[in-house]
Structure 1
Amino acid sequence: MPLLAPLKRLQNSRSQAALVFLGMLALTSYGLYSNSQRVKQEQELLLGRLARAQASAIERRINQSLSTTYALAQELQRKGGTLEDFPAFAKQLIASTGLVNNLQLAPQGVVTEIYPLAGNEPAIGFHIFDDRSRWNEAHLAVTRRSLALIGPFDLIQGGGMAVIGHYPVFLKSQEGERFWGFTSAVIMLADLVKVTELDRLEGQGYAYRLSRVRPDDGKKQVFSRSEAELGQPVVSENIHLPNATWTLSLGLVKTSPWRHGLFNLLLELAILSLASVLLVRILREPERLQQLAPWPFPHSTRSRLSG
Structure 2
Amino acid sequence: MSAGSPENNVKLPWRKAMPSFLLTAAIAVTVIWRSEAESIADERQVAERMAVTHGAAIRRNIERALSATYPLAALVRQANGTPANVEQLAGELLPFYAGASALALAPDGIVRIIVPEAENAPVIGTDLLHGPTRDKEAIRARDTATLTLTPPVQLVQGGVAAIGRLPVHLGSGPDRKFWGLISVLIRFPDVLQSADLDHLKAEGYAYHLWRNDPDGDFRVHHTIATSGDPLIDPVSVAVPIPNGTWMLSVSPVDGWGDPLNLVMKSALGLSICILAAGLHHSIESLRRERAEVERRIELRTRELARSEQRFRDIAHISADWIWEVDAEGRYTFASASVRSLLDYSPEELLGKTPFELMPPDEAARVSAALAETVAARAPFRDLENIVLHKNGTPMVTLTSGTPILDDEGKLLGYRGVDRDITARRKLEEQIRQLAFLDTLTQLPNRRLFTDRLNQALALTGRSACYGALLFMDLDRFKPLNDEHGHAVGDLLLLEVAERLKRCVREADTVARFGGDEFVVLIGALATDRAVSLAHAAAIAQDMLESLSQPYHLRKRNDVGNDITIEHHCSASIGVTLFRGHETTVEALLQRADTAMYRAKAAGRNTVRFAESDEAV
Partner of 2:129: 129
Give yes or no for the alignment of 1:206 onto 2:205.
yes
- What is the CA–CA distance in structure 2 between the aligned matches of 1:92 and 1:194, rounded to whole Å? 23
Q: Distance in 1 between matches of 2:185 and 2:148?
A: 12
* Inter-CA distance 148–133: structure 2 relative to 1 (3 Å threshold): farther
Alignment partner, residue 269 of structure 1: none
Tell me if the contact between 2:36 and 2:259 (Cα under 8 Å) persists in the aligned partners.
no
Find the counterpart in structure 1 of residue 240 from structure 2: 240
Match for residue 170 of structure 1? 169
Give the partner amino acid of 1:121: A
Alpha-carbon separation, structure 2, partners of 1:113 and 1:61:
24
Distance 1:71 1:238 in 2: 28
Q: Name stretches of at least 5 consecutive residues in structure 1 with no aligned partner.
A: 1-34, 264-307
Larger Rg: 1
- Give secondary structure in 1 for the equivalent of 2:183: strand
| More divergent stretch after superposition (79-88 vs 111-120) | 79-88
Moved over 3 A (4+): 35-38, 131-137, 230-233
Per the alignment, in what secondary structure is the counterpart of residue 68 of structure 2? helix
Alignment of 1:26-65 (within 5 A): 39-65=39-65
Measure the CA separation in 1 of the matches of 2:69 and 2:112. 15
Who is 1:144 aligned against? 144
Q: TM-score, normalised to structure 1's length?
A: 0.66
- The answer to whether the 8 A contact 1:230-1:252 is kept is no
Cα distance in 1 between the residues matched to 2:254 and 2:197: 17
Match of 2:612 in 1: none
* Residue 193 in structure 1 maps to residue 179 in structure 2: no
Cα distance in 1 for partners of 2:133, 2:242 equals: 17
C-alpha distance in 2 between matches for 1:251 and 1:194: 20
Deviation, structure 1 residue 131:
6.3
Output one character per residue of 1:48-84: Cα deviation in whole Å (capped at 9) or x when no partner.
1100011111112211211111211111111222233
Identity level (%): 33
How far 1:201 sits from its partner (Å)? 2.7
Taking a change above 3 Å as real, the CA distance of residues 261 and 133 of structure 1, as seen in their structure-2 partners, is farther
Q: Which residue in 2 is equivalent to 1:158?
A: 158
Unaligned runs of 5+ in 2: 1-34, 264-616
Measured after TM superposition, the shift of residue 233 of structure 1 is: 5.9
CA contact (8 A) 2:67 2:97 kept: no
The 2-side partners of 1:110 and 1:92 are apart by: 23
Contact preservation (8 Å) 1:169, 1:183 = yes
1:250 aligned residue: 250
TM-score (norm 2): 0.34
The residue type equivalent to 1:99 in the other structure is G
Deviations 1:79-105 (A, max 9, x none): 222233222211232211111010000
Given that 1:40 and 1:233 are in contact with CA atoms closer than 8 Å, whether structure 2 keeps it comes out as: no
Q: Structure 2: how far apart are the matches of 1:164 and 1:192?
A: 12
Q: Which amino acid aligns with 2:124?
A: I
1:114 touches 1:124 (CA, 8 Å); kept in 2? yes
- For the Cα contact (< 8 Å) 2:207–2:231, is it kept in 1? no
Q: Secondary structure at the match of 1:109?
A: coil
Q: Distance in 2 between matches of 1:141 and 1:53?
A: 28
Check 1:148–1:132 CA distance in 2 against 1; reply closer, same or farther (3 A cut).
Answer: farther
Shift of 1:252: 2.0
Distance in 2 separating the partners of 1:66 and 1:105 = 14
Aligned length: 226
- Cα distance 1:134–1:48, how it changes in 2: closer, same or farther (>3 A)? farther
Q: Please state which structure has a larger fraction of its residues in helix.
A: 1
Amino acid across the alignment from 1:181: G
Change (3 A) 1:232 1:150: closer
* C-alpha deviation, 1:110, in angstroms: 0.4
Counterpart amino acid of residue 226 in structure 2: R
**Structure 1 residues 226 and 180: alpha-carbon distance in aligned structure 2, compared to 1, 3 A threshold:** same
Q: Which segment drifts farther, 212-221 or 56-65?
A: 212-221
| Distance in 1 separating the partners of 2:258 and 2:112 | 58
Aligned to 1:18: none
